[in-house]
Structure 1
Amino acid sequence: MIAVACTVGLMATPAIAGPASVAPGGPTATRTASGPTASASTWSGLTAPLPTRWTSQVSPTNALPDYPRPQLARPSVAAPKWLSLNGLWQYAPTDGFTPPVFGADLDGQILVPYPAESVLSGVQKHSDYMFYRRTVTVPKNFLSGGQHLRLNFGAVNYDAAVYVNGIQVARHLGGYDSFSVDVTAALRVKGPQEILVAVHSPVDSATIPVGKQRLDPDGIFYTAASGIWQSVWLEPVAATSIASFTATPDAASSSFTFKATLNGDPTNARLAVDVYAGTKKVAAVSGAAGGTMRVTVPKPRLWSPADPFLYTFKVRLTGHGTDVIESYAGLRSVAVQLVNGKQRITLNGKATFLLSTLDQGYWPDGIYTAPTDAALKFDIQKTKDLGFNTIRKHIKVEPARWYYWADKLGIMVWQDSPALPTGRNGSLTAGDKANFRAETAQMVGQLANVTSIIGWIPFNEGWGQWSVAAASEVGAQIKAQDPSRLVNDRSGFNCCDTPGDPGTGDIIDWHQYQGPALPAPDATRASIDGEHGGLTLTVPGHTWPGAPINPYGSVPDAAALNAGYEANNAVLRDQGAPYGLSGSVYTQITDVEGEQNGFFTYDREVEKVDEARVRASNLAVINAGSKPTPPAPPGTPGLGGVDRWSFDETTGTTAADGVGGHDLTLRNGAKFGPGLAGNALVLNGVDQSAESSGTLIPTTNTNYTVSAWAKASSFGGAFQTVMSEDGAATSAFFLQYSGADKRWAFSFASIRALATTVGMPVAGQWYHLVGVRDVTRSRLSIYVDGVLAGSVGILGGGDLGTGNLQVGRGQFGGNPVDYLNGSVDDARVFDRELTAAEVAALHEAGPGATQ
Structure 2
Amino acid sequence: MIRPLAMIAAATLLGTVIASPAQAAPEWHKGIPPIATPWTAQVGPSNALPEYPRPQLVRDKWQNLNGVWEFAKAETGQAVPAGQSLGERVLVPYPIESALSGIQRHEDRMWYRRTFTVPAGWKIGSGQRLLLHFGAVDYDAKVYVNGTQVATHRGGYDGFDIDVTTALKATGPQELIVWAEDLTDATGQPIGKQRRTSDRGIFYQGSSGIWRTVWMEPVAAAAVTDLGLTPDLAGKSLRLTVNVDSNQPLTAQANQPLTVRATARSNGRVVGSVTGAAGTELKVPVPNAHLWTPDDPYLYDLDVTLLNAGRTVDTVKSYFGMREIGTKKGADGKLRIALNGKILFNMATLDQGFWPDGLNTAPTDAGLKFDLQQHKVMGFNAVRKHIKVEPDRWYYWADKLGLLVWQDMPAANTGPIPAEWRGQFEAELHELVREHRSWTSIIAWVPFNEGWGEWDRAATGRIADEVKAQDPSRLVNAHSGVNCCNSHGDSGRGDVIDHHQYLGPATPAPDATRVSIDGEHGGFGLKVSNHMWFGDGQAYEMEPDSATLTAKYVANQKAVIGSAQSCGISAAIYTQITDVEGELNGFWTYDRQVAKMDLAQVRKVNKEIIAKADGSAANTPQPPPGTPGLTGIAFYPLDGTTEDTAGDHDATLVGGPAYGEGKSGQGLTLDGSTQYADTGAPVLNTASDYTASAWVKLDKADGAFQTVVSQDGASNSDFFLQYSGADQRFAMSFAGVRALAPAKPVVGQWYHLAGVRDSAKGELRLYVDGQLAGSVSACTAQAAPTGNTVIGRGKYGGNPVDYLDGTVDQVHLYDRALSATEIASLYTSGN
TM-score (norm 2): 0.86
The alpha carbon displacement at 1:554 in A equals 2.0
Aligned equivalents of 2:101, 2:210: Cα separation in 1? 10
CA contact (8 A) 1:252 1:333 kept: no
Aligned to 2:215: 233
| Map of 2:365 onto structure 1 | 373
Change (3 A) 1:198 1:791: same
Alignment partner of 1:132 is 2:112: yes
User: For 1:99-138, what aligned pairs fall within 5 Å after superposition?
Assistant: 99-138=79-118
Query: Which residue number in structure 1 is paired with residue 766 of structure 2?
Result: 782
Given that residues 499 and 520 in structure 2 are in contact (C-alpha distance below 8 angstroms), is that contact kept between their aligned partners in structure 1?
A: yes
Further displaced range: 237-246 or 704-713: 704-713
Cross-structure match for 2:172? 191
Match of 2:658 in 1: none
Give the residue type in structure 2 aligned to 1:296: P
Cα RMSD after superposing both structures: 4.0
Pick from 578, 585, 602 the counterpart of residue 614 of structure 1. Answer: 602
Alignment partners' CA distance in 2, 1:460 and 1:182: 36
Residue-by-residue CA offset, 1:26-69 (whole Å, 9 max, x unaligned): xxxxxxx2443369994321222221110110010011111110
Q: Within 2, Cα distance between the matches of 1:99 and 1:292?
A: 46
Asked whether 1:85 is paired with 2:75, we answer no
Q: Distance in 1 between matches of 2:808 and 2:353?
A: 58
CA 1:828–1:198: 2 relative to 1, 3 Å: closer
Aligned AA for 1:477?
E
- Between stretches 289-298 and 57-66, larger displacement belongs to 289-298
Q: For 1:679-735, what per-residue CA distance to the aligned partner results, in whole angstroms no more than 9, with x for missing partners? A: x99999877525369x83425xxxx33145679999999999886555333332244
**C-alpha displacement of 1:617:** 1.7
TM-score (norm 1): 0.84
- The answer to whether 1:625 aligns with 2:616 is no
- Between the aligned partners of 1:125 and 1:818, the Cα distance in structure 2 is 48
Q: Report the CA distance shift for 1:682/1:646 in structure 2 as closer, same or farther (over 3 A).
A: farther
What is aligned with 1:415? 407
Instruction: Indicate the residue corresponding to 2:131 in structure 1.
Output: 150
Q: CA deviation at 1:390?
A: 1.3
Q: Percent identity?
A: 46
Moved more, 214-223 or 768-777: 768-777
**2:659 corresponding residue in structure 1:** none
Pick one of 453, 457, 462 that aligns with 2:446: 457
Mapped contact 2:701–2:747 kept (Cα < 8 A): no
CA contact (8 A) 2:685 2:785 kept: no
Q: In the alignment, which residue of structure 2 is the partner of 1:591?
A: 579
Partner of 1:447 in structure 2? Answer: 436
Q: What is the 5 A alignment of 1:329-728?
A: 329-339=320-330, 340-425=332-417, 427-429=418-420, 432-545=421-534, 548-550=536-538, 552-632=540-620, 635=623, 640=628, 644-645=632-633, 689=679, 691=681, 696-698=685-687, 704-707=689-692, 724-728=710-714
Change (3 A) 1:749 1:212: closer
CA distance, structure 2, for counterparts of residue 627 and residue 52 of structure 1: 41
Answer with 517-526 or 310-319: which moved more.
517-526
Q: How far is 1:210 from its partner? A: 1.7
* 1:572 to 1:165, Cα distance in 2 relative to 1, 3 A: same
Pair 1:252–1:578, CA change in 2 (3 A) = farther
CA distance in 2: counterparts of 1:737 and 1:115, whole angstroms: 50
2:205 matched to which residue of 1? 223
Structure 1 residue 761: Cα displacement: 7.7
What letter is aligned with 2:235? S
Deviation at 1:87, TM superposition (A): 0.8
1:173 to 154, 168, 173: 154
Distance 1:610 1:54 in 2: 23
Amino acid at match of 1:54: W
Aligned residue identity for 1:99: A
**C-alpha spacing 1:188/1:777, structure 2 compared with 1 (3 Å):** farther
**How far off is 1:326 after superposition?**
0.8
Counterparts of 2:86 and 2:730 in 1: how far apart (Å)? 72
Per the alignment, residue 121 of structure 2 pairs with 141
Q: How does 1:740-759 map to 2 (within 5 A)?
A: 746-750=732-736
Question: Is the 1:647–1:681 Cα contact (8 Å) retained in structure 2?
Answer: no
| Gap change, CA 1:731 and 1:63, over 3 Å in 2 | same
Match of 2:814 in 1: 828
Cα distance, 1:645–1:315 mapped onto 2, change above 3 Å: same
Does 1:257 pair with 2:239?
Answer: yes
1:728-776 Cα offsets, whole Å, 9 max, x none, are 33332244688999997633344655776775688xx9x9753212568
How far apart, CA to CA, are the structure 1 residues paired with 2:110 and 2:812?
77
Matches of 1:742 and 1:470, distance apart in 2: 26
Contact 2:495 2:514 in 1 (8 A): yes
Aligned partner of 2:108: which letter?
D
Identify the range of structure 1 (368-377 vs 713-722) with the bigger mean alpha-carbon deviation.
713-722
Separation in 1 of the partners of 2:25 and 2:392?
27
The number of aligned residues is 794
Partner of 1:27: none
Alignment CA distance shift 1:450-1:824 (3 Å):
same
Distance 1:393 1:724 in 2: 40
- State the SS of the aligned residue for 2:577: coil
**Deviation readout 1:287-341 (Å, 9 max, x if unpaired):** 1112111133122111111111111111111117521111111111112333342
Q: Which moved more, 1:504-513 or 1:556-565?
A: 556-565
Q: Which moved more, 1:175-184 or 1:356-365?
A: 175-184
| Cα distance in structure 2, aligned partners of 1:779 and 1:825 | 22
More off after superposition, 347-356 vs 555-564: 555-564
Q: Where does 1:832-847 land on structure 2 (aligned, <5 Å)?
A: 832=817, 834-841=818-825
Deviation (angstroms), 1:170: 2.0
**1:108-131 Cα deviation digits (max 9, x unpaired):** 211111111111111112222222
Change (3 A) 1:628 1:36: farther
The worse-fitting range, judged by mean Cα deviation, of 533-542 and 370-379 is: 533-542
- Paired residue secondary structure (1:479): helix
Structure 1 residues 745 and 238, CA gap change in structure 2 (3 angstroms): closer
| Residue 46 (structure 1) aligned to one of 6, 31, 49 | 31
* Residue 141 of structure 1, CA deviation: 2.0
Deviations 1:543-598 (A, max 9, x none): 1137x453623222222322222222122111223212111222211111122221
Distance (whole Å) between structure 1 residues aligned to residue 333 and residue 387 of structure 2: 33
In structure 2, relative to structure 1, the CA distance for the partners of 1:188 and 1:515 (3 Å cut) is: same
Q: Secondary structure at the match of 2:601?
A: helix
Unaligned runs of 5+ in 2: 248-253, 637-641, 655-661
Residues 1:57 and 2:46 are matched in the alignment: no
Unaligned runs of 5+ in 1: 8-13, 23-32, 75-79, 658-662, 671-675
> Could you tell me which residue of structure 1 aligns to residue 639 of structure 2?
none
Contact 2:564/2:615 (8 A) holds in 1: no
Q: What is the SS of the residue equivalent to 2:542?
A: coil
Native 8 Å contact 1:303 1:309 kept in 2: yes
Q: Deviations over 1:630-658 (max 9, x none)?
A: 5436655698289953679xxxx99999x
**Residue identity in the other structure for 2:322:** L
CA contact (8 A) 2:274 2:285 kept: no
Partner of 1:279: 268
Q: 1:98 aligns with which of 78, 100, 112?
A: 78
Report deviation, 1:175: 1.2
Determine if contact 1:728/1:799 at 8 Å carries over to the other structure: no
Contact 2:27/2:89 (<8 A) preserved: no
